[in-house]
Amino acid sequence: MGKLFGTDGVRGMANQYPITPEIAVRIGRAVACLLTGGSRNENHRHQVLIGRDTRISGPMLEYALASGICSMGVDAVTAGVIPTPGISYLTASTDAGAGIVISASHNPYFDNGIKIFNSRGFKLSDKQEGRIEEMVLDDHHAKQAESIRNTGSVRYLEDSIPMYVAFLKRCLPIDFSLHGMKIVLDCANGATFQAGEQIFQELGAKVIALSCEPDGRNINHACGSQHPEKLSEIVLSENADIGLAFDGDGDRLIVVDEQGKIATGDQILAACAVSMKKQGILRNNLLVTTIMSNIGLGVALEENGIRHVTANVGDRYVMEEMIRHDAIIGGEDSGHMIFLDQHTTGDGILAALRLISSMKHENRIASEFLSTMIVFPQKLINVDVKSKPEIHTLPELAAVIRSVETKLGNKGRVLVRYSGTQSMCRVMVEGPTAAITQEYCERIADVVKAVLG
């Protein structure tokens, strides 16, 4: 058995290693043992909370995880289909020792994954993930459950969605209302299909809901944050004020303004950060993003006198830098946005509510509010690879990267990195014009295909 954890938990194709029932049982045992310490005291039973998105393989992994947890004398509490940030919140607000989410986020339905939160609702550190991985891969640890007679039980948390929605409402000003707004939601046939429509309707908006009919196989299929084109069309045809697209597990947000233009995570973060500074609530005058952020973000922040710290790719690393520098807003261009003054992880619905709240505070429509940042032309090509050797050890690839960087000078940049969750290499180029950016990105991608494809 090989390495389990990537940049966002354990992920892969369902029913293939490591996303198998057998490994899920072992992960359940390891989480129960490491994060709760286990319990054989009937007066105080430790518990682990489990949630999932709408993938057809979700229940299979849910039952396997619950079995592993119970085998260690710990109770498993299943919350059913709920956004990832919902499990983060519920774990922190109850007496759960840990929370587990079964989801592959924006990946296609045949993939799945396992994300783990500690008792405070934060994703695990590299050290904690490493310890769990050791326990999962250790056959001796799997036998420890044999001596446990007081096994745990499984129960269902029936009001998980209402509890999560109530939390989101508490994040808003007391008099906050969406009356008079027409909002189009694209829930990606994923975990937000209940909570998303519910909260925006209860806040008074007229809601047009798309992709809210999950069948186990249509999650993220031509919809959601990865495919906002249809959302853009509906916003225009319905003359809506804004369009909001979430990903399969609800921790990402992509926005469409009233003109049908798609705004990236960087644009949303820039607009919110500038607005928060105006309101006097931007702690330490700081925004944290990743090395993938568009050059235009840095320009916009500099123009508005806002400090900018960059982290490695992955919302977990953004969170680490936010805590290190005492920042309350951070995120990724992909749509992960963290508002640490209110939540411990990225939350697409909360990000949407914070965005709209700032828009209303400044009395600006979406297109005006999101114009804070000018996006430099950017091209991203994902190349399937058979292996992931260090980039600098590949002479031909290193040479073409140096060549492009030299030609771009200070008018662009190149970033070539492997995906932490899939067998692919991501080639990203930013440049002065769309044509130049496209040409250089394709040139590098062609070499990646030749060397690693």
Locate the domains of the chain by residue range: 5-158, 163-259, 263-347+357-372, 378-452
DSSP assignment string, 282-316:
-GGGEEEEETTS-HHHHHHHHHTT-EEEEE-SSHH
The total number of residues written for the chain in this structure: 453
Q: Is CATH 3.40.120.10 the right assignment for the domain spanning 263-347+357-372?
A: yes
Q: What is the CATH number of domain 5-158?
A: 3.40.120.10
DSSP assignment string, 57-106:
THHHHHHHHHHHHHHTT-EEEEEEE--HHHHHHHHHHSS-SEEEEE--TT
DSSP assignment string, 257-280:
-TTS-EE-HHHHHHHHHHHHHHHT
d(CA 48, CA 95) in angstroms, rounded, equals 9
d(CA 100, CA 421) in angstroms, rounded, equals 17
Tokens 């922040």, residue located: 301
d(CA 145, CA 151) in angstroms, rounded, equals 9
Contact between 195 and 207 under an 8 Å Cβ cutoff? The reply is: no
- Residue 36: what pLDDT? 67
Q: How far from chain centre, in Å, is Cα 112?
A: 14
- Tell me the one-letter amino acid at 452: L
**pLDDT tens digits, the chain, 453 residues: what are they?**
558 998 789 999 999 999 999 999 999 999 999 876 654 555 567 999 999 999 999 999 999 999 999 999 999 999 999 999 999 999 999 989 999 999 999 999 999 999 999 999 999 988 999 999 999 998 877 777 788 888 999 999 999 999 999 999 999 999 999 999 999 999 999 999 999 999 999 999 999 999 999 999 999 999 999 999 999 999 999 999 999 999 999 999 999 999 999 999 999 999 999 999 999 999 999 999 998 899 889 989 999 999 999 999 888 899 999 999 999 999 999 999 999 999 999 999 999 999 999 999 999 999 999 999 988 898 999 999 999 999 999 999 999 999 999 999 888 899 999 987 788 999 999 998 999 999 999 999 999 999 998
Give the residue among 423, 366, 62, 111 at the shortest CA–CA distance from 247: 111
DSSP category for residue 145: G
Contact between 338 and 319 under an 8 Å Cβ cutoff? The reply is: yes
Give the residue among 60, 59, 78 at the shortest CA–CA distance from 152: 78
Catalytic residue among 39, 88, 105, 275: 105
- Tell me the one-letter amino acid at 45: R
CATH architecture for segment(s) 378-452: 2-Layer Sandwich (3.30)
pTM of the model: 0.89
- Tell me the one-letter amino acid at 80: G
User: In b/e form, how buried is each residue of 52-72, taking b as 16+ CB within 10 angstroms?
Assistant: bbbbebbebbbbbbbbbbbbb
- What fold is seen in the domain 163-259? Alpha-D-Glucose-1,6-Bisphosphate; Chain A, domain 3 (3.40.120)
Q: Is 357 a catalytic residue?
A: no
Please indicate whether the domains covering 163-259 and 378-452 agree at the CATH topology level: no
Strand-pair category, 5-6 with 9-13: antiparallel
